[in-house]
Structures are given as C-alpha cells and as structure tokens.
Structure 1
Amino acid sequence: MTNKYYLSLAIPLIISTITVPLLGAVDTAVVGQIPNPAYIGGVAVGTVIFNTMYWLFGFLRVSTSGFAAQANGAEDDLKSAMALFRPMIIALLVGLLFILFQDAVLYFAQVFLGVKGEVKAVSAEYFSIRIWGAPFTLMNYVVLGWLLGMSHIKKTVFIQIMMNIINIILAYLFVIFWGFGVKGVAVATLIAEMTAFLAGIYFLSKNDKLRIDFHLTILGKELLDKAPLKKMMIVNRDLFIRTICLLLVFNIFTAKGAAYGTEILAANAILIQIHYIMAYFYDGLANASSILTGKAVGQGNRQLYENTVKKSYQWSILFSIAISLLFFLFKENIIPLFTIVKDVITISKEYEYWLVLFPICSCFGLVFYGIFTGATEAGLVRNSMIGSILIFFLVLFPSTHYWGNHGLWFSFIVFSLCRSLLLWRYMPKLREKLVFKKAE
C-alpha cells in the first residue's frame, strides 16, 4: 500500500468530516441576520442539544464502518448486508424514541443549560421542528458508515456536501428571502437531513452486495443471529462509553472555565472550537485507517494491517507537525476570525500556546482510534478512555488550584496525551487479538 493510496482515502474523508459541524453553524449564521439576539441564542441552544444527542450515537457510524470493512475484505455479501441492516434497526428505534420523548428531552436539556425567557421559547420552536429529523439523521449515520466501510468514499463526500449546500440555500431562502424566521431555519435543516438520507438509500439500492437472493425468513434469522448481534452490541456499548467520557471532559472543562469569568469562558470557547477543527483533520485519517484495518482483518491479511499501522504512524506525525506549525504561524490571524471583542482576543492569546501542543499530544489517540474500530476491538478504546479520564481528574484539581485556567488547559493536554499513550500501549495487545491467514 502506497502513501498515495492512503491519502486518496484520507483526504476526501477529511473534507467530508469538516462538513459535520456546518449544519448548526449555518443555522446560527443565518438566524444571526435577524435583529433579535434571542434568535441567535435560541438556535445556538437548539444546536447544542442536537449536537450532543447525535454525538452520543455517533458510534452507529463508526462501528458500522468497521463491520462493513471486515465483510468487504472477506468478500461476504451476507455479512455486508447484515453490517447495514442490524445497526439500521437500532438507529430507527433510537430516532423514534427521541421523537416519542421529545418533551422530556427538551425540558431536561433546557434545565441543564439554564435557558430562560425568549431564548427558551425560540430554542423550543427550533427543537420541535428539527427533532423529526432524528430517525433520518441516525439512519444516515449507518448509511455513511456502511458506504465508508465498503470504500465508497466519493458517495459519502457527495452526501454530506450535498446536505450542507441544500441547508445553506434553503436557510437563506426561508429566513432572508421569505422571512420565516426560526421556523424557516429549522425546516431547512430538517429537509437537508431527510434529503441526505434519501440520497444514501438511493446509493444503497444500486449496490449489488445488498441484492440478497434468499427468502426473508432466512434474512430474519441472520438479523437475530446471537453471536454477531452480541458482538455488534458490545462494540457499540464500548464506543458509547467512550463518548460519555469525552462529553464529561468537555462539560467539566466548560464549567471550570465559566468559574473564571465570562471573558475567560469566551476565550476558552474560541480555543476549543479551533481544537475541534484540528481534530476533524485527524478524523479523516482515522476513517482511512479504519477502512484499511477492517479490510485487512476481513481478508486475514497481516501485511495490509502492518502497512496500515505504519502509514497511520507516519501521517499522524506529519499532520501533527504541519497543524501545529500552521497554527503557530497564523495564530494572530485565526483568533480574530471568531470574535471582535478585544478583551477576549487578548485573553485567548494568553492560552493559545496550549493549542500548539494539542496536535502533537493527541495525534496517536485520534488516528489509532480508527485502527481499533476497524478491527472492531472497541473494548481497548473504552479502557484507554477510562484510564485517560481518571488521570484527567487526578491532574485537574491540583493544577487548577495553583495555575487557574492554565491548569485547566494543562489538564486537557494531559488527557489528550494519555489517550495517545494508552492506545499506543494497547497496539501490541490488539495485534495479539487479531488472526491473520496470510502474510500478504
């Protein structure tokens, strides 16, 4: 496997993952043209609620990609189909539960976020429309994961870019041109999510591996086959625990930052957004590594696995150097893109050097994650995250006591470094777990 082939997978996936946060960002930007700050706040709150909901169930895409890649490597059409149908049922059920209990979800989310007054009313209006897209969004996670696992990279990129273009056009028309307000921006996003799902279904309908020529009763038995069903549930459980740990870290980080005052909270929020952009670049590499690892495991091909690990090391390091260097060189221009408040910019500059360290400390944790999920060995990912969050807590309280917000950032960087070191430490154990039939 050449560097060119690895990057031919990784670069489109990087472009694809960078589009992920755009739906909420576009909604906020468009509604920001309405001369009422409560609209911006309400849509921002609604976006946080949906981002959290969907982030919690992001494992549907990740695990599906791993199982599909293994089935593709084994050239097993039945396993390929089951890799899609099993998680699709889970996604549909979870999405319907969100709709069924939407009032409870909204109530507890607003209480947790401390939303009041007009912002509360606007966020409820936005939420009550977008919630109907939950089944489509979660099922689309499965569709995208399956297409990734089957190496249909261009189709996944097309679906996500198309979704964002539709959202941008409709949001502008509904809000700016026709004046539908918050309802308009919510409906635009809902239509974009539904259209993306339908596009995914169209691509699936054209795929030969899903044209299974046997009776539906046999398909039903395969869907409920205990061994693979149990394996899928275990992998999804472990990835869910990993996500809970990540949300806990970011929520604690935000809460601690708020204790230091509004301006430091705002500065931290800007720097964390830049951190997210950095992380999305690594997510593309992780997806490429996941596809190749799954294919290697499915084929029983040790050489492909070893080459994937080698490329993951190599490009993790190169990307880390490039991202850190670019941020260091252009940090004076980057931070003002996020705010015009001079005091916040000044405070951000005080802590910006922590972000120079982030790519170097986090690269292996963010990229090797793809190797483990491609091998569907999420238990080791779960263990590494639990270990990292325990160390985060041990470091957090003394460091924030003595160094304040610098201590908070130090704790976050230590957490990121531990994710890398623990996954790196688990690499030999992963290799022992995998069974390979051929050397090349």
Structure 2
Amino acid sequence: MAASTDLGKDNIKQLLFKMSVPAAAGMMVMVIYQMADTFFIGRWVGTLGLAGISVVSPLILMIQSIGMSVGMGGAALISSALGGKNRQKANEVLGNQVIIAVGLTIIAVGIGFFFERELLLFFGANGDIYPYAESYFNIILWGMPFLTWSMVVNNAVRSEGHAKTAMFAMVVPSVCNIILDPIFIIGLDMGMEGAAYATLISYFIGFFFLVIFFLRGKTHLSLASKYLKYQQKIVNEILALGSASFARQAASSVIAIILNHILFEHGGEVSVAVYGVVSRLFLLATFPIIGLGQGLLTICSFNYGAGKYQRVKDTVTNGIKYGVIVNSIIVVLVFFFDEELTSLFTKDQQLIQESIPAMWGVMAALPIITIGITASMFAQALAKARDALLLTLLRQLFFRIPFVYIFSHFWGVTGTWVSFFFSDLVSIAFAAVYLKRELKKLSKKISISDE
C-alpha cells in the first residue's frame, strides 16, 4: 500500500518506465482484443461485418467516454490528494466518481435501447450495414455499466501507484475476449452476435477482477458506503478535469460519424470497412503514447500536489523525448509492413489496397502527436480543466472536421485520409506553443521555491 509514495521519490526516468509500461501493456492487450474482433469478423463474417463494427464502435466509444472522463478527471484529483497526504479527499473523490459514472451510463444505455434505430442510422449504418451493426449493438450495450465502473476504478488504482494491478485489470478481460472470440464466432457459428457476447463476458470479468482487488484490502482507497455520498463540489471538480478526456473520446465519435457518412458517399460500404481496419491499426500504433500519457498524468499530479515542481517539469520533458522516439520507430514499422498489417483483417484485395493509403494518411504525423497528447495530459494533471479541454478540441474538432470536409470535397476518399495529416500538424503547433509557455511558468515556480 506504500506504492503511491514512490511517485515523489523515485528517479523520473525509472518512474516513467514503471508507470507507463504497465499502462501501455494494458492498452496494448485491449487493442489486440479489439483487433481480434475485427480479425475474426473480417475473415468469418465479411466486409459488411467490418463495416458494422466501424459504425458501432464510435457509438460505444461515446458511452465509454463517460467512464474514461470521470476516471481520468478523478484520477488527477486522487493523485494530487494523495500527494498532499489527504486520504479522506481521495476516497470521497472515488466514491463520487462511481456514483456519477454508473448513473450516467445507465441513462445512456436506456437512450441507446430506446433510440436504437435512429442512433445507428445517424452513426452511419447505411444500406446493408444496418443489420450487422444492430445485432452487435443490441448485446454489447448491456455491458456498458460494468465497463464504465471498471474504467473509473482502474484509473483510481493507477493514480495510487498500483500500475501493475491496473494493467492486469485490462489484460485479464482482454485475454478472455481473445479466447472467446473464435469459440463464439467460429465454433458456435454466431457471427456478429458471437463477437458481441465474447466482449460482454469480458466486461463482467474485468468488473469482478477489480472488485476482488478491493476486497483483498491492498489499497489505501476504499469503496465503502460512507464514501458513496454525492458531493456537488467534488463532482464539479471531477467533471471539469474530465471534460478533456470526454471531449477526446466524444470528438473521436463525432469524427467517426462524419467519416462514415462521407466515406459511404464517396466509396460505399468498402470505404466504411476501410475505416474500421485503419482505426484499429491506429489504436495499435498509439497504445505506447497513451500509456505514457497516463503514467505522466499520475506522476505530474502527485508531484504538483506535493509542491515538487522540478519533478513535474522533468517528467514532461522526458515524456516528450521518449514518446517521439518510440512513435517514430512505430511509424517506420507500420509503413514497412503496411500490406501485411491490413491483410490481417480481410482476404478482400480491394479492401487491402484501399486500406494502405488510408493508413499512411492517418499515421504520418504520429511521432509529433506525442506533443499534443502530452500537453493535454499535463494540463489535466495541473487541474487546468479549460486548457486541457481546449487542447483536445483543437485537434479533434476545430481543425479535423473542417479539413475532412474541405479535402474530401476536392479529392474524395483520398482527400479524407490526407486531411488527417494536415489537421494534426496545425493542432500540434498550437499544443507546442502552449506547452512551452506553461513550462516557463513552472520554471518560475521552481526558482521561487529554491529561494
């Protein structure tokens, strides 16, 4: 239970490795299980199945964003409270996270069932895609409250310094999903429904894994009923800090809606399926920087709360350096094995050939995306909710959407993929300016504290 105190003492480089690698490993396994869904559906259900997944994924992501935003917003508060040795505040934050995340998710699930057809059509279930999307969505929706609860508690566990436990909380259900996919999809010949049931069961398993962790008492945090009391002030803090994470996830869903409709208009079901493949590969390529960002947020929040500003600055500068190096290597590997990667999901040669240039456009700016993610996580860590939200919206909405519309209007499907690269360049330039300014402010705090 003393794991959290290491956040203020360990060597920064070692600490980044210690906190980020388990987070990245957990993300990697989660991505692999999403890719497993895509792999088995692509090969045993077909192109329309891939298109169905492409439509449902952003809709599910929208609901998941509740758990992600509440989880990461509260994690920053918990780390800061623990850094200031205020365990009571940390537990109150966790209790309010659980209340609002589960409550909002249940409402979202109800809306999902009641307006199912309208939502699926809005998200791009056009033509023959609809029945495939519907069969998957009907089942997966039942597991959302368990998933958002797990996302909240997992972030809380990581914020205390239990990085390995947080990793296993993602790995265990993901491995179960990978095992169950071929059993349900191929062995029981259940197609899209089989993939959905495999995922649903994995959500339950992830939930029970974290329940058992808390019952064993190996944490300073508590889910006791005395902490499950709604406090408006704490809820406001959680939602404010979590707004950037929510915007990040919700914006991805908005982009997916737009892309599904634009791609269907210019290229039909195949182009929608291409987006399903490329989005999975992008998740695979970005899991290291997402893990690094989560580790960075935890370390910065704790040390900022403890008044150790030099450690905060060192964490940011080292995080950017390592992120750029790792992402550069990933881009080279992805481009070198582009055809092999896209061939994992389908035997359709048209789909493979259309996926390759799409992948190039989406991933070209990956090395410098590190700067944008670091800037947003840094703002969250320092409880600068408005800054974190703005940085997220700049990349995902303010630049991405106009660029997609403009480029697709003139160059069709090809322009759609190229727009990703240019919108990333512009938004990351803004993030770099912001980060440089904030690090100067931090340097002044360091000088004052030294005096």
Residue of structure 2 aligned with 1:139, choices 149, 154, 167: 149
- Decide which moves more: 332-341 or 23-32: 23-32
Give the conservation status (yes or no) of the 8 Å contact 2:59–2:253: no
Q: How far is the alpha carbon of 1:155 from its aligned partner?
A: 0.7
Show the counterpart of 1:234: 240
Show the counterpart of 1:148: 158
Q: How far is the alpha carbon of 1:395 from its aligned partner?
A: 4.0
Give the conservation status (yes or no) of the 8 Å contact 1:235–1:376: yes
Uncovered stretches (5+) of structure 1, i.e. residues with no partner: none
Q: Which TM-score applies when normalising by structure 2?
A: 0.82
Show the counterpart of 1:417: 425
Q: Which TM-score applies when normalising by structure 1?
A: 0.84
Show the counterpart of 1:209: 220
Give the conservation status (yes or no) of the 8 Å contact 1:303–1:439: no
Structure 1 Cα separation of the partners of residues 409 and 223 of structure 2: 61
CA-atom RMSD, angstroms?
Answer: 3.5
Q: How far is the alpha carbon of 1:420 from its aligned partner?
A: 2.2
Q: How far is the alpha carbon of 1:273 from its aligned partner?
A: 3.2
Whether 1:371 and 2:378 are equivalent positions in the alignment is yes
Q: Deviations over 1:189-216 (max 9, x none)?
A: 3232122112112212314423599x94
Structure 1 Cα separation of the partners of residues 318 and 154 of structure 2: 24
Whether 1:107 and 2:132 are equivalent positions in the alignment is no
Whether 1:279 and 2:286 are equivalent positions in the alignment is yes
Q: How far is the alpha carbon of 1:382 from its aligned partner?
A: 1.6
Structure 2 Cα separation of the partners of residues 288 and 136 of structure 1: 24
- Whichever residue aligns with residue 97 of structure 1, its letter is I
Residue of structure 1 aligned with 2:63, choices 41, 47, 53: 53
Whether 1:249 and 2:255 are equivalent positions in the alignment is yes
Higher relative contact order, structure no. (Cα contacts within 8 Å, ≥ 6 residues apart): 2
Give the direction of change, closer, same or farther, for the CA distance of 1:174–1:123 in structure 2 (3 Å limit): same
Map residues 50-129 of structure 1 onto 2, 5 A cutoff.
50-55=60-65, 57-113=67-123, 115=125, 120=130, 123-129=133-139
Q: Deviations over 1:12-70 (max 9, x none)?
A: 21111123345554445556676798777766655554234214542122212212221
Give the conservation status (yes or no) of the 8 Å contact 1:257–1:265: yes
Q: Deviations over 1:347-379 (max 9, x none)?
A: 444455435622134221123322222223231
Q: How many residues align?
A: 435
Structure 1 Cα separation of the partners of residues 430 and 337 of structure 2: 31
Whether 1:259 and 2:259 are equivalent positions in the alignment is no
- Whichever residue aligns with residue 420 of structure 1, its letter is I
Q: How far is the alpha carbon of 1:250 from its aligned partner?
A: 3.4
Structure 2 Cα separation of the partners of residues 409 and 399 of structure 1: 9
- Whichever residue aligns with residue 209 of structure 2, its letter is A
Q: Deviations over 1:95-118 (max 9, x none)?
A: 322343442242322332464899
- Whichever residue aligns with residue 159 of structure 1, its letter is A
Show the counterpart of 1:294: 301
Residue of structure 2 aligned with 1:317, choices 321, 324, 336: 324
Give the conservation status (yes or no) of the 8 Å contact 2:122–2:257: no
Uncovered stretches (5+) of structure 2, i.e. residues with no partner: 1-10
Map residues 325-364 of structure 1 onto 2, 5 A cutoff.
325-350=332-357, 352-355=359-362, 357-364=364-371
Structure 2 Cα separation of the partners of residues 285 and 191 of structure 1: 28
Residue of structure 2 aligned with 1:391, choices 396, 399, 416: 399
Structure 1 Cα separation of the partners of residues 126 and 264 of structure 2: 18
